[in-house]
Amino acid sequence: MLHVVHINSETGYSGGEAQIFMLLEGLRARGHEVVLICPPDSASEGEAPSRGLAHRTVAMRNQTDLAAVVRLRREIAAARADVVHLHTGRANWLGGLAARWAGVPAVSTRRMDRRVRPGLGTRLLYGTLLQRTAAISPAVRDLLIAGGVPADDVEVIVDAVDPQALRPAHFRDAVRTRLGASDDDCVLLAVAALVRRKGVDVLLEAVAGLGAAGTRAPLWIVGEGAERPILEQQARSIGVASQVSFFGRRDDIADLLHAADVVVVPSRREGMGVAALEAMAAGRAVVASDVGGLGYAVVHERTGLLVPPEDAAALASGLARLIRDPELRQRLAAEGPRRIAEEFLPQQMIDAYEKLYLRMALRSPLPAAGRGLGG
C-alpha cells in the first residue's frame, strides 16, 4: 500500500479536477491511502467529502507563499507520504518545495500545451523539485522537452474517460424534443469553458458560414466563462442567435451527448481535450482542431475530422461533410468507443500512475532539506 498526497491549488472545478478525482477514487479502490490538499472554499473541498475522500485545506495564495510551503510540508509528513503528486503550476512550486523539504519524491502532471520557457526556473523546478513529470499527451511531452526538461524524466500518461459515467438518464428523442430539436436536425454540441482558448468564437463563425452555404444546424453550447456575453453578442451580430443555445453549466452531459449528432471541439490550444474523449466514448462523431492532444486522441477520418485551428472556413467544411453524410457520421461514431478502449479508460490511467508511484517510492529516499525550518 502506498501513501500518496495530491496537491491541487485551483479553486474551481473543470476537466483537470475531474481527472484528479477519478484517479483518487481509483487508487483508493486498490487499497492505497490518498489525501487531497486543496484551497479552503474551493470546489475540490466540497467535492472530496461527497466522495468519502480524505482531504486537507491549505491556502496557496501565490507561487512564493512560504507559509503555504510550511503547512504543506507538515501535511505531507502527517500523511506519511511515499509520493507527492502535484496538479497545477502553483502546486508545483509550493508542493515541490514542501516535498523536497520533507524528503519525499514529487511528480507533476502537466496538462497545458503552453510553451515551457528554458532557464533557471525550469531547471530548478524540473531538475530539483520534481523527480518525474507526466504529460497528458505526446504534444505536451514534446513542449516539456523543448523547454529543457530531460526526456528521461518525462512520460506520457493520457487522460481517461469512463464510458459507464456517460450512460444517458433519458431517451434521446425526449431530450431533443425538450430542447427544441426536430428529428431531421443534425445537432452540433460544444462542451467547453467560454474562454478564448476554447475557440467557441471560431465555431460561431463556422455556423454562420454553414448558413451562408444553405446548411442550417442547431448548436448547443454547454459551459460558462468570462466570454459568454461577448459570444452571445457575436451570435446576434452574425445572425446565428436563433440556432445557437447557450446552456451554461449542466449536469446532464451524458443526455446531451446522446441527443446530439456531432461534437465540436474548436480549441486554439488543448493539452488533451476531455470533451473529445467523452464524445468518442458516447459514440459520437467529432470535428476538432488539430492542436495539442486533440490531434492524438481524435484519429482523422476514423473517429472524427481534424481541421486547422482558427480556420472557420475549414471548420464549416468539416461540419458540412458530417451534416450532409449520415453514413459517414455513423462510421466515425462507431469507432469512438474502440479508440477509447485502446488507451483512454480509467483503469489504464490508474495503472500507469500506480506503476510510476511504485518506481518513485522504491528509489533511494531523497535527503530531507532544511530540517531546521520549523520541521
| Burial of 107 per CB tally in 10 Å (0-12, 13-18, 19+) | buried
Is residue 4 within 8 Å of 83, Cβ to Cβ? yes
Superfamily of domain covering 3-160+346-362:
Glycogen Phosphorylase B; (3.40.50.2000)
Q: Please report the pLDDT score of residue 372 as a whole number.
A: 39
The C-alpha atoms of residue 170 and residue 267 are separated, in whole angstroms, by 29
Residue 177 has pLDDT above 50, yes or no: yes
Residue 364 has pLDDT above 70, yes or no: no
186-235 pLDDT per residue, tens: 999 999 999 999 999 999 999 999 999 999 999 999 999 999 999 999 99
Domain range annotation of the chain: 3-160+346-362, 163-343
> What is the grid cell recorded at 286?
467529432
302-320 pLDDT per residue, tens: 999 999 999 999 999 999 9
114 pLDDT tier (thresholds 50, 70, 90): confident
The C-alpha atoms of residue 143 and residue 318 are separated, in whole angstroms, by 28
Mean pLDDT of 167-190: 96
The C-alpha atoms of residue 246 and residue 232 are separated, in whole angstroms, by 8
> What is the grid cell recorded at 49?
467529502
38-79 pLDDT per residue, tens: 999 999 999 999 999 999 999 999 999 999 999 999 999 999
What backbone phi and psi angles, to 5 degrees, belong to 270?
-165, 120
337-350 pLDDT per residue, tens: 999 999 999 999 99
Q: Please report the pLDDT score of residue 371 as a whole number.
A: 42
220-252 in b/e form (b: 16+ CB < 10 A) is bbbbebebbeebbebbeebebeebbbbeeeeee
The C-alpha atoms of residue 265 and residue 231 are separated, in whole angstroms, by 16
> What is the grid cell recorded at 18?
475531474
Q: Please report the pLDDT score of residue 375 as a whole number.
A: 41
Task: Give the contacts of 233 (CB within 8 A, at least 6 positions apart).
Answer: none
Q: Please report the pLDDT score of residue 373 as a whole number.
A: 40
Question: What is the architecture, at CATH level 2, of domain 163-343?
Answer: 3-Layer(aba) Sandwich (3.40)
Query: Which is nearest to 303 in space by CA: 287, 317, 314?
Result: 287
Number of alpha helices (DSSP H) and beta strands (DSSP E) in the chain: 15, 13
SS3 content of the chain, % helix, strand, coil (to 5): 50, 15, 35
**Mean pLDDT (the chain, rounded):** 95
Same fold, 3-160+346-362 and 163-343: yes
Q: How far is CA 186 from the centre of its chain?
A: 27
Indicate the range of 98-112, 139-153, 192-206, 357-371 predicted with least confidence: 357-371
Query: Which is nearest to 218 in space by CA: 195, 251, 191, 184?
Result: 184
Residue 363 has pLDDT above 90, yes or no: no
Residue 11 has pLDDT above 70, yes or no: yes
Q: Please report the pLDDT score of residue 369 as a whole number.
A: 59
Mean pLDDT of 111-129: 92
Residue 162 has pLDDT above 90, yes or no: yes
15 pLDDT tier (thresholds 50, 70, 90): confident
